[in-house]
Each structure stands twice: as structure tokens, then as C-alpha cells.
Amino acid sequence: MNNNLTTLKDQALAEIRKDPKGALSVQTRNRIFGQLNERSAALLLLRTLLFVRPLWNRTWPHDPYWDDLFTHIEAFTGGEYDATKLAARIRQAHTYMERRMEEEKLDAAYAGLALVYAGYEITSHNLQAAAAENEADSDPGNWSSLFMASLACNGGCTDLTQIDPRKNRAFWNYFVNGIDAAVQQLPLPPIAAAETPAAAEERPRKQYTLFLNGDAHSTGVLLQLYTQLMTDNGWKALKLESYYVNNKHSMTVFYQPGQAESAWIKMDNMKLFSFNNKNDIRLKIRALRDEMYRYRPAEGAWYKLELLIEAGGAHAFSFFYDTQFPFFNSWADQVDFIKDFETYSRDEAFIPEWLKEILVFNQPR
């Protein structure tokens, strides 16, 4: 590290220590960035924003949006990601973060916006803040990503007179102490992918168990009807796949004839439709969905039901709440999932990423 930067670092730490709010001035920050080459400056900024990452993860532990954007910006700084694609991704993320602001979890939302602002600064190749003096007195449009992150550390405070000097000082010291690593262009700490569930992973739920321990009337009726269908046709096994979203219902049934080692055969659609219509299956499926949801509303409602019945009475129900099946692409509109969510809302922890994308980007304003 050159002498100018060493002196600047010492001055910055002293400034933070003496400042009543534990802040670092725009002028000093800009001078630090001015002493760094472009890649080192970007690495310093990204390394500093890792300080607010826990705010996002504690609030939205199953939302990988922050980590995903961070990873792509980091790849861009290393010349591994296309600038045009990143610019589009940042704009999309900006919309997403603004929507999350509406949830009024401001510390986490500010951490998200800080990363978006950092993306703009890095892709524009200009990390020096536009505000000439104290950012707290400037228009929010001129706030830098670092100032936004400092507000995240203060609970996303909207009253800038209520900044906590202790929290503020910890953040700005973290920024200054990251200069050495930035100069050496040391790799950023890896973001563990294991912290984020896969988009199609089914999160563990207690809903069905609670339902079975209560009144499992709807499952019993369905089991009885399709067992009788299997028996009447002399099949040795039946497999049912039923989708239900926003009052839309679709079902397919496969069966195995009585012969040994027979393959699965799809039941004729018209015969299945006639059977289902006669027995009001659509209403029974909806009733099952409603009944299960009431036992554990936080977990949401399933989108797909599978039922396997074998000769002798063995059977198994399976329910899928989180998987984005390819069948949805030709059968359900995104608005269906939005309307379905209005009736069967879920807690944050049970919203898969693909559904969150639909809810955020397609919701009427």
C-alpha cells in the first residue's frame, strides 16, 4: 500500500473516531477510492457490503436474491460477466428491492438497495459519491451505496437524526479496514450456496401430519373412490396426478393392468372426465386443499397432489407446494398464482424463489 493510502487510512480511522455520529465524510471516501485502481475499488465496495448481508439473511433467510446479485456483480469485476446482462439484472433487482421496501423491514431492504446502488456504481466505473458534503443533507437520489448500507446498519432509519454512533462507527471502520485486502485484490469471502434452498426443493411441512391427526375425511373419500375405480377395472395399481391452482383443476390417471410386470398405461381422458364429473372430484380436491390449509396456513397450499394405490390396500399421498412443474407453463397463467396466493398466503420461509418472482414482478401496483 502506498504512503498516500496509508496516510488516508489513518486519517479516516481518526475521523470516524472523532465524528459525533461515527461517520466517514464523502470527501475522505472519495479520496480513498481515488487512490485505488478500478478493480480494487470495486472489491473494497463489495467487501464492505458483506457487512450488511446478515441483515438480509436474518429477515428473509430463504430469499437468495441478495446473494445472486452479489455473485454476478463480483463476476463482472473479474471480467467474467457481460455488462449488458448485468445492467438488466440490476434494473430488475432495483424493482424487486423497492417492492420489498413496502414490507417495512427497512434494515434488510436498505441492505438490498445498497447492493443495487453498488451495482450501478461499479458498472458505471465511478465509485465516488456525487454528494459534495454530508449525504444526510443531500437528496436521496445522490446517496451512495455505502451511505445506504450505513443506514441499513442503523435499522434502515428514516430519521437521520437517530443514527446510532456505535453501529455507524462499526460499519465505517469495517470499510476502512478492508482497504489492505482491496489493494492486494484478495478474493472476497465465498458466499455459501448451501444457505439457500434450491428453487424446486420441497421445504419440510407439518400440515399433512396435523391434518391426518384431525379430520382426514377428504383423503378418505378420494382413496375410496379411486380404489373402487381400480377394483372395478381389474387393475393392480393406480397412480393419480392432480394439479390445482386458482380454482383450475387438471388430473391424469395411470394404471397397471392385472398382468404381471405390466407397464403403466394412461387412462382415457374422456373416461376419467366422466368419472370425475360424476363424483364431483374437482370440488373434493378443493375441499381437501382448503381443509389442509386451515391446519397450517403459514405453510401455504399445495399445487400438486399424487396418490398411489396398490392391490391389497397399500396407498400413499404426496403433496407438492414448492416445485415449479413444467406443466404449469401451458396450463396456468402467472396471474393464477397471484390470485391463488391471495387466498392461500404463505409465510416468507415457505415461498420458493420462482413464486416470489411471480408475486413481485407481476403484481398490479
pLDDT tens across 248-301, in order? 999 999 999 976 566 889 999 999 999 999 999 999 999 999 999 999 999 999
- Residues in the chain predicted with pLDDT less than 50, given as ranges, are 193-200, 365
Query: Does 181 lie in the same domain as 236?
Result: no
**Residue 260 pLDDT:** 57
What is the CATH classification number for the domain harbouring 343?
Answer: 3.30.500.20
Q: Are residues 12 and 46 in the same domain?
A: yes
276, 251 in Cβ contact below 8 A? yes
Q: Which residue has the cell 472519495?
A: 30
Q: Are residues 287 and 169 in the same domain?
A: no
- Domain region containing 241: 207-361
Is 300 within a domain? yes
Domain termination residue (choose one: 195, 227, 244): 195
Question: Which of 195, 223, 239 is a domain's end point?
Answer: 195
Report the number of distinct structural domains present in the chain: 2
Are residue 220 and residue 339 in the same domain, yes or no? yes
**Do 185 and 332 share a domain, yes or no?**
no
Predicted confidence at residue 32, as pLDDT, reads 94
Specify the pLDDT at position 216: 63
Specify whether 34 is located in the same domain as 162.
Answer: yes
Which of the listed residues 132, 162, 195 is the one where a domain comes to its end? 195
Q: What is residue 129's predicted lDDT score, i.e. its pLDDT?
A: 78
Say whether both 85 and 234 belong to one domain.
no
- Whether residues 46 and 176 share a domain: the answer is yes
76 and 130: one domain? yes
Q: For position 245, what pLDDT does the model report?
A: 97
**Are 168 and 236 within one domain?**
no
pLDDT of residue 196: 37
Predicted confidence at residue 199, as pLDDT, reads 42
Check residue 100 and give its pLDDT: 84
Give domain status of residue 201, yes or no. no
Virtual torsion, Cα 346, 350, 356, 358, nearest 10 deg: -60
Residues linked to residue 305 through DSSP beta bridges, in sequence order: 242, 319
- For residues 140 and 214, state if they share a domain: no
Residue 364 burial (C-beta neighbours within 10 Å; 0-12, 13-18, 19+): exposed
